[in-house]
Each structure stands twice: as structure tokens, then as C-alpha cells.
Amino acid sequence: MTLRQRSAAEIVAVRHRRLGPNLSLSYSEPLKIVRGQGQYLFAEDGRRYLDLVNNVCHVGHCHPRVVAAGQDQMARLNTNTRYLHDHLAEYVERLAALMPGELSICFLVCSGSEANELALRLARTHTGRREIVVLDHAYHGNSGNLIDMSPYKCEGPGGDGLPSHVRKVPCPDTYRGRHRGPDAADRYVDDASEVLRSHQPGVFFAEPLVGCGGQIVPPAGFLSRSFAAARRQGTLCVADEVQVGFGRVGSHYWAFEAQGARPDIVTLGKPIANGHPMGAVVTTPEVAASFDTGMEYFNTFGGNPVSCAIALAVLDVLRDEELPAHAASMGERFLEHLHELAQRHELIGDVRGQGLYLGAELVTDRETREPAPDAATSVVDQMKERGFLLSTDGPDHNVIKIKPPLVLSADDIDATATALDEVLAGL
């Protein structure tokens, strides 16, 4: 199919004319990317960019095995889960085998938001309670229910605030949060326990590493102990692994395992099918049994043979290319560079992360920890000019996020550090 090629400016004009006005674009001068390969993206003019933010194309953009799996299955059959299909059977067996303990019953859906919506329904049906507890600054998805339980959105511009059935616990941020010292984990667990005890929710949702909160790594023991506190109230715990699952944290396949936590429900999305829209919910037989109320659960696209073929190829590539181990060693190398840069650039107030899920928090003053959002935006823009794609996040928009495809190489990391060094020196 030959399609009229529009210039970047023409596409911007069409977007303004035809799309909802609050659909945002990255960068003040938006990029027209026409091709992806591995960890690289290529613009219309042929310029190559290192993609340091796309945790969706997890095993690399357009991985040939993933592409072939999708193409092959699309040419054969795509239908729904009311027919028997080997790909579905194989995928849920493999996914369940990757989960610990009783987490063995899968529901396949089409996005991270859909996974979290379903998790909410499962928990509410199982416990009979509507109340929800979340971490401050959390984002769990774009549906009405999920916006209401995402402080990042409902307490931000245009939001209506947290509704009364949702309560938040402080984000376990040991750099900028309310508890910072060696007893931070205890204090944050106390805070969470108190909210859980007084609100008696049906469900406690937590990202094992808090993405929109600014790439926050909770202090050791926070997640496991606050999940245990929730369980004591009869509350179900959901680990939202939509950002961080599938080996990104390196040491483990799932970030909740790296934190020693035991969820009742795990939600998956983004990387699950390397950019093809898919999600999953994995839970225990007991929770799944409660959901079997007599009402059929049907999902037109969830678990279709094409999605399952693609998701299976992702698991194959993760295993055959040993990408979780690669994420662990590349993450260490990246962190070393960032710590080294922090020694020379006062602007870097904190460096944190696990595996290839990293953040560098910029501040104008290390003592007061005054956030430096303008500097962060400037770093991202200047890095883009040098061919490195990054983004910012966190409540103060001053955290540089690093979450690349896992195929990132040591040379890529070294080149990123050199470019960051130059950019920071020039600010």
C-alpha cells in the first residue's frame, strides 16, 4: 500500500484537526520515526536515535522472531477464545510456570488498563468490598475507575481529586518522601498499615517500582510487609507489573519477587507482546473461583491466537537471549556511570533503579533538594539533539527516566554517559 508521505508539520496539523487535543507529543520538535530495530529508532531523514525510554518494545524494536510469529499467525487464523487453540494453551502454561506459588490462573486482555480493571473486578468480587488503597503518585491506567485510583492523574491538572472510596498511602520515596532515614521502611510500612486498617479496602494496588512517582525503588521490606499488613485486613494485593515485568529488573522475572512480596493478583501489559496490544492478569485459583459468579467473562480480543503467538515469541527471546541476566549486568553498568556522573555534576541529586529501570533526579540545590524540572527538560532535549531519547517524570517532573529495550549494549551505555556528561557540563 502506498501512502502519501506527510511532512512532520503536516502530521502535526492533522493531529490538531482530527485527534483529541489532550493527546500529547514528545519533544518540543516532535520526531517522525519511520523504522525501529533493536534498541534504535530511525527518523524520516535516516537519523538514528538510541531509544532509552521504550519499555514496551522489550526485546528490541521489530525483533525478527516476534515479527515472524505475528505475521505467520495473522496469515493463518485470528479468532477468539471460544475455539480451542494451541497458542493460548501454550502461553498460559508458560506464563503460569513463570509465576511463584499459587499464582496460576490467567486472564488474557488487551492492555495494562484492561488488566488493572479486571484485577479490580476480581478483588471486589472476592472480598465484597469496594474500597481501594493505592500508593501516592501511582498511575494504573486510563479508564474511569483507574483514573479515580491514580493520584498521578486525578490529583493532577484537570483531575477531580481522589473519590471517597479511594485512599492513598505515602509513596515509599527515600530521597524526597516524608521518611528518608535508615528506618524509612518501618515508617512507610506503619503509614500503609494505618491507612489499610482504617479504610478496610477490598484491594491494595502497588507498583513494585513506582514509575510515575519518579522511578522510585521502595526501601527493602516495604512491599512485602505492607502486602502482609493488607492481607491481615482481608485485603487483596495487586502487583502492577505493567511497567516493570518480564525480567526488566534483572535479578528476577517479576519486580515483586525482587522485593520479596507476595501478591494475590499480578497485572501485566506493555512489554508482554513487544508493542502488540496485550495484557494479562494472573491470580490464585481461589480468587478466580470467586469471580466465577455465573456471569460469563468474555473478551473479544483477549487471548487471540495472534497475540498469543507474539507473546510466546517474546518469552522465547527472553529465554534464548538471556535478557533478564543482560538487564542485570547492563543496569549495573548504567548505575555505575550515573553515580560517577553524580560525583561531578551537582545537578544530579539522586540516582536509583533496578536492572534497566533507572532514574536520575535533578535538583538545583543538594541541601534543599529543590527540584530542577527545567534542567531535566533541557537535558532531555539536548540528549535528543545528540541522538539519545530520554524522558522526564515524577511529581516534580525532574526525574530523568531510563527504561530502554533490554537489548541495550555496553557501548550504548558508555556513549549515553559520555553524552550526558557533556550536556550536564554545558548547562
Residues that bind ligand PLP (CB under 6 A): 111-113, 116, 139-142, 207, 211, 240, 242-243, 269-270
Q: CB nearer to ligand PLP: give 342 or 390.
A: 390
Output the smallest distance, CB 360 to ligand PLP, in A: 19
Q: CB nearer to ligand PLP: give 116 or 398.
A: 116
What span, in angstroms and rounded, lies between the C-alpha atoms of 183 and 361? 22
Q: CB nearer to ligand PLP: give 253 or 347.
A: 253
Output the smallest distance, CB 120 to ligand PLP, in A: 12
Segments of 18-175 assigned E as strands: 33-37, 40-43, 48-51, 105-109, 132-135, 166-169
Output the smallest distance, CB 405 to ligand PLP, in A: 16
**Which grid cell is 62?**
521489530
Q: CB nearer to ligand PLP: give 148 or 207.
A: 207
Q: CB nearer to ligand PLP: give 269 or 371.
A: 269
The dihedrals phi and psi of 361, each to the nearest 5 degrees, come to: -95, 125
Cell numbers 534483572 correspond to: 250
Q: How far is CA 314 from CA 84, 141, 309, in A?
A: 22, 23, 9
Q: CB nearer to ligand PLP: give 70 or 211.
A: 211
Sign of CA dihedral 147, 150, 154, 156: negative
Output the smallest distance, CB 142 to ligand PLP, in A: 6
The conformation of residue 5, written as its DSSP 8-state character, comes to: P
- Residue closest to ligand PLP (Cβ): 112
Distance of CA 55 to the CA centre of its chain: 7
* Residues sharing a CB contact under 8 Å with residue 333, sequence separation 6 or more, in sequence order: 410, 413
Output the smallest distance, CB 130 to ligand PLP, in A: 20
Output the smallest distance, CB 270 to ligand PLP, in A: 6
What span, in angstroms and rounded, lies between the C-alpha atoms of 201 and 333? 41
